[in-house]
């Protein structure tokens, strides 16, 4: 709860500073553009959250997005597949990729960092190979118009559709993570995997499920990406997306050690992540320093998290010492 309050205060201060720098930042148009960005890329922050909570990491997110977008564009334009079948195939591909990652981490005992780093190179290379390193787009085809109409064109009561989709996925994840036994299993695995195993939790199954959930959302994001940009560049599409996803989740209070995270915090972390670039531009900071500002904010969050953790440990040791002294005094 303290983390959520701190995030809310930081978000409020950041937004206030943004408005002070440029009152036009409070315009409806700027809010719509910001909501669109938060909704679009926030899906990836939600995707990586269960993986990090279980003590893992996924560095292949951007490459998986690039591979799925390229594959979807090719299925629609080069092979003239039915759009529904093409989308279903891409979503299934995402699930298979997540299953492979989970199996390698759990059954072979490989480090998640190594598995997903290799996946980053593998899926990026596959994207460039199947597309012959060329840009793949929808061109003049109208095969994807139905999906554009549903997920992209227009808005809902003045709210961008991407933001609405983001909130729906966040609500689903919140129910799973905070109101279901599956979410409690994820948190228990991340907090102490051995204890979770001895408690009867099927650790491997739920870790695999976390990776499948992550890659499935990446595939869903790919569908939305194609409705927005109409094309994919295999060598570029998805670059740095994994870093944005991890940064948004960590800024939202998801601990890289695992066992700790909150969906509301991830939502606020995503907002902070995309308000920061607006903040740098409004204050006249060069766009070239955008990554520096984001990295500094992420480092600051990690430092604060570590200081709070150490403070809690010191507090626990102190309470234990006081209790021990009381017991000795009682005996005497």
What CATH number is given to the structural domain containing 150? 1.10.3470
284 C-beta neighbours (distance < 10 Å), count: 8
Residues 211 and 332 both lie in one domain: no
- Looking at 267, 285, 303, the residue that finishes a domain is 285
Query: Which residues lie closer than 8 Å to 34 by C-beta, 6 or more apart?
Result: 274, 275, 278
Residues 184 and 311 both lie in one domain: no
Residues 302 and 255 both lie in one domain: no
Residues 26 and 64 both lie in one domain: yes
Give the Cα separation of 249 and 47 in Å (integer). Answer: 9
Instruction: Check the CA dihedral 228-233-236-238 and report its sign.
Output: positive
pLDDT of residue 7: 80
Residues 239 and 142 both lie in one domain: yes
In contact, 48 and 216? CB cutoff 8 Å: no
In contact, 218 and 169? CB cutoff 8 Å: no
pLDDT of residue 307: 76
Token pair for residue 5? 């309050």
For the chain, what is the domain count?
A: 2
pLDDT of residue 317: 57
Residues 309 and 278 both lie in one domain: no
Provide the residue range defining the domain that includes 315: 290-332
Residues 175 and 193 both lie in one domain: yes
pLDDT of residue 277: 76
pLDDT of residue 320: 60
Query: Which residues lie closer than 8 Å to 292 by C-beta, 6 or more apart?
Result: none
Token pair for residue 211? 């990776």
Token pair for residue 325? 């002294």
Low-confidence stretches of the chain (pLDDT < 70) are 1, 21, 140, 283, 309, 312-332
Residues 169 and 311 both lie in one domain: no
Residues 125 and 71 both lie in one domain: yes
Residues 32 and 153 both lie in one domain: yes
Task: Tell me which residue of 135, 131, 128, 100 sits closest to 116, measured CA to CA.
Answer: 100
Residues 196 and 315 both lie in one domain: no
Residues 309 and 224 both lie in one domain: no
pLDDT of residue 137: 85
Give the pTM. Answer: 0.89
Give the Cα separation of 216 and 208 in Å (integer). Answer: 12
């Amino acid at each position: 709860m303290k983390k959520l309050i701190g995030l809310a205060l930081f978000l409020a201060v950041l937004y206030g500073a943004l408005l002070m720098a440029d009152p036009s930042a409070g315009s409806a148009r700027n809010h719509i553009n910001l909501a669109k960005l938060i909704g679009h890329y926030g899906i990836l922050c939600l995707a990586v959250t269960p993986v990090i909570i279980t003590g893992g990491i996924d560095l292949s997110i951007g490459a998986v997005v690039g591979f799925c977008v390229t594959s979807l564009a090719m299925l629609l334009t080069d092979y003239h597949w039915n759009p529904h079948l093409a989308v279903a195939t891409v979503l299934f591909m995402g699930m298979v990729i997540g299953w492979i990652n989970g199996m390698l981490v759990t059954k072979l005992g490989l480090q998640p960092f190594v598995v997903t780093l290799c996946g980053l190179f593998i899926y990026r290379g596959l994207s460039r190979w199947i597309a012959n390193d060329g840009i793949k787009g929808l061109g003049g085809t109208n095969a994807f118009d139905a999906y554009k109409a549903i997920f992209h064109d227009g808005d809902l009561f003045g709210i961008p559709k991407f933001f609405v989709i983001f909130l729906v996925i966040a609500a689903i994840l919140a129910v799973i993570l905070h109101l279901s036994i599956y979410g409690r299993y994820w948190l228990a695995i991340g907090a102490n995997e051995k204890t979770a195993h001895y408690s009867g939790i099927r650790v491997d199954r739920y870790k695999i499920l976390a990776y499948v959930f992550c890659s499935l959302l990446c595939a869903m994001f790919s569908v939305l990406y194609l409705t927005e940009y109409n094309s994919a560049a295999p060598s570029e599409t998805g670059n740095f997306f994994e870093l944005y996803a991890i940064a948004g989740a960590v800024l939202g209070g998801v601990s890289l050690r695992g066992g700790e995270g909150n969906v509301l915090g991830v939502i606020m972390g995503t907002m902070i992540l995309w308000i920061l670039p607006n903040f740098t531009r409004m204050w006249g900071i060069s766009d070239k320093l955008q990554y520096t500002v984001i990295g500094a904010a992420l480092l600051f969050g990690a430092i604060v998290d570590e200081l709070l953790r150490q403070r809690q440990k010191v507090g626990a040791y102190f309470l234990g010492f006081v209790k021990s002294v009381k017991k000795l005094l009682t005996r005497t």
